[in-house]
Amino acid sequence: MSGSPQQPGLDFGNTQIAFSHLSNFRLRQAYWLFRVIGQPLVVKMGPSLADFSLKWHLPIETVIRKTIFSHFCGGESIEACLPRIEELARFHIGTILDFAREGGGAEAEFDAVRDEIIRTIDQAASHRSIPFAVFKPSALISLDILAKRDRGITLSAAEEAAWQRFQARFAAICQRAFERRVRIMVDAEESWIQDSVDTCATEQMRLCNRSEALVFNTIQLYRHDRLAYVQRSFVDAEAQGYRLGVKLVRGAYLEKENRVAAAEGRPSPLNPSKAATDAMYDQTLRYCVDHLDRIALIAGTHNEASILLLTELMRAKNIAPGDPRIHFAQLLGMSDNISYNLASAGYNVAKYVPYGTVAELLPYLTRRAQENSSVAGQSSRELLLLLREMKRRGLRS
């Protein structure tokens, strides 16, 4: 525990703070963007039409770049993200550079992704406003090999060699982060390939997290077994003498997980309801705060109730808002009412800033549109807050 108690009176409805970074033009633009992507037909048909247009070189890329891409993404390269990084930094918000390209199928592509992730680590090491780097393990190996390994299927000699190369890429990323003293987050995957990822993440935490948490594993708490996994990981951290780094999220593959489980005739690995997931998320927050002597925590959530709970837990234990063991993280372009108000109150906050070409980021942008459409009240909440700020400024919608 360190520092003074947290500041009371955190208000996520304060739109003056939430949108202080937006000019009148950008505020209006954000309002209309959320109105459009909140339409079910746009969410259903838009990704296919955009993919078709890009494939056949139709003039839609400029439209995407100036609207949804510019709102949710930092740019096409690390260098192109620098103005956004500086803008966030002016409001005491860190950047998580996210090379968001989906994994390819060739070894050369996996190596290229590794090299780009290492570039983000080096950028973070030289830029105080980039507190984390991140990578997606499935961008470093064939998904089929991960799935076979998780199911206990014997790999062929070629597949075993590919698995060894994946472990080497994974280790190279974490080792660079260790050498440069940069915190690196390992993204979560679907349940049928997660065990292999967990194995690699734990191995790297044992190696790199001896004195501080530098490697963080991502825990998807819509899975009913994940709190127990965090508890087992803590026991291992105590026994092996390392710091446990965890990023807590609710989960990203809900429909896919249930669909695959049903097709394979097995029980779903997910909680039976959103309420059960919310309860497990909050319970895991409590567990991590209770064991903060050995756990470093990133609350990766847009859920206001869970975030308020975490700030209350911190206040109850006299943990300062800026305690380096606790961070909050949200996606660029979403839930600015949370990010900017937390940062204004002195909490450690960072935004995921994805980058890549429009074509590379189309799957990511599709998920953002789907999330805003499917998460109860998300699009409506964003619109309400944007409209409230427009009225505060005397702007017409």
Q: 17 falls in which pLDDT band (50, 70, 90)?
A: very high
Question: In whole numbers, what is the pLDDT of the chain averaged over residues?
Answer: 90
CA distance 390 to 88: 21
Residue 9 in domain: no
CATH number at residue 71: 3.20.20.220
Indicate whether 49 pLDDT > 90: no
What pLDDT sits at residue 46?
47
Q: Kindly tell me if the per-residue pLDDT of 26 is higher than 60.
A: yes
335-346 tens-digit pLDDT: 999 999 999 999
pLDDT of 355 reads 95
380: confidence class by pLDDT, cuts 50, 70, 90: confident
Best CA proximity match to 183, nearest among 218, 147, 230, 227: 218
Report yes or no on 204 lying in a domain: yes
The confidence score (pLDDT) of residue 202 equals: 98
Q: For residue 34, what pLDDT is reported? A: 85
Contact (CB, 8 A) for 17 and 341: yes
For residues 279 and 269, give the distance between their C-alpha atoms in angstroms, rounded to a whole number.
Answer: 16
The residues that bridge with 244 in the sheet, in sequence order, are 295
Q: What is the pLDDT of residue 371?
A: 56
| CB-CB neighbours of 180 under 10 Å | 17
Beta-carbon count within 10 A of 47 CB: 17
Q: Are residues 11 and 385 in contact, defined by beta-carbon separation less than 8 angstroms? A: no
* Residue 134 belongs to a domain: yes
pLDDT reported for residue 397: 74
Whether 78 is in a domain gets the answer yes
CA dist 245 and 298 (Å) reads 8
What does pTM read for this prediction? 0.92
Q: What is the CA radius of gyration of the chain?
A: 21
pLDDT value of residue 272:
96
Question: What is the Cα–Cα distance from 323 to 217, expressed in whole angstroms?
Answer: 20
- Residue 8 binned pLDDT confidence (cut-offs 50, 70, 90): low
If one compares 235 and 254, the residue with the highest pLDDT of the two is 235
| CA–CA distances in Å: residue 15 to residues 308, 388, 392 | 17, 7, 9
Please give the residue that has the higher pLDDT: either 241 or 373. 241
Task: Report d(CA 269, CA 224) in Å as an integer.
Answer: 6
Lowest mean pLDDT among 211-225, 258-272, 362-376: 362-376
pLDDT band at 376 (very low <50, low <70, confident <90, very high): very low
Predicted confidence (pLDDT) per residue in 251-286, tens digit: 988 889 999 999 999 999 999 999 999 999 999 999
Q: Which of 92-106, 112-126, 163-177 has the lowest mean pLDDT?
A: 92-106
Calpha distance 238→234 (Å, rounded): 6
Would you place residue 48 in the very low, low, confident or very high pLDDT band (cuts 50, 70, 90)?
A: low
Q: Per the domain annotation, does 87 fall within a domain?
A: yes
SS3 136: coil
In angstroms, the CA 57 to CA 60 distance is 8
pLDDT bin (cut points 50, 70, 90) of residue 33 is: confident
End-to-end Cα separation, the chain, in angstroms: 46
The DSSP 8-state label assigned to residue 138 in this structure reads G
Q: How confident is the model at residue 6 (pLDDT cuts 50, 70, 90)?
A: very low
Residue 302 in tokens: 């847009």
287 part of a folded domain:
yes
Length of the chain: 397
Q: Which distant-in-sequence residues (6+ apart) come within 8 Å of 334 by Cβ?
A: 72, 302, 368, 371, 372, 378, 382
Q: CA 219 to CA 230: how far, in whole Å?
A: 8
Closest CA to 328 of 364, 302, 300: 300
Confidence class for position 1, pLDDT limits 50, 70, 90: very low
Confidence of residue 61 (pLDDT cuts 50, 70, 90): confident
Provide the residue type at 140 as one letter. L
Residue 174 is assigned to a structural domain of this protein: yes
Q: Are 215 and 184 in contact (CB under 8 A)?
A: yes
Residue 54 is predicted with a pLDDT of 53
Residue 223's DSSP bridge partners are 270
How far apart are alpha carbons 90 and 320 in whole angstroms?
21
What is the total count of domains within the chain?
1
pLDDT band of residue 5 (cuts 50, 70, 90) is very low
Residue with tokens 């439209």: 63
Residue-wise pLDDT tens digits, 343-358: 999 999 999 999 998 8
What share of the chain in percent tops pLDDT 90?
78
Residue 353 buriedness (CB in 10 A; 0-12 / 13-18 / 19+): buried
> Taking every pair of C-alpha atoms in the chain, what is the biggest distance, in angstroms?
67
Residues spanned by the domain of 282: 15-392
Query: What span, in angstroms and rounded, lies between the C-alpha atoms of 153 and 147?
Result: 9
- How high is the pLDDT of residue 66? 84
- Residue 332 and residue 351 in contact, taking contact as beta carbons nearer than 8 Å: yes
Q: Flag whether 45 is in a domain.
A: yes
∠ Cα 52 113 144 (to 5°): 75
Whether residue 237 is predicted with pLDDT greater than 60 in this model: the reply is yes
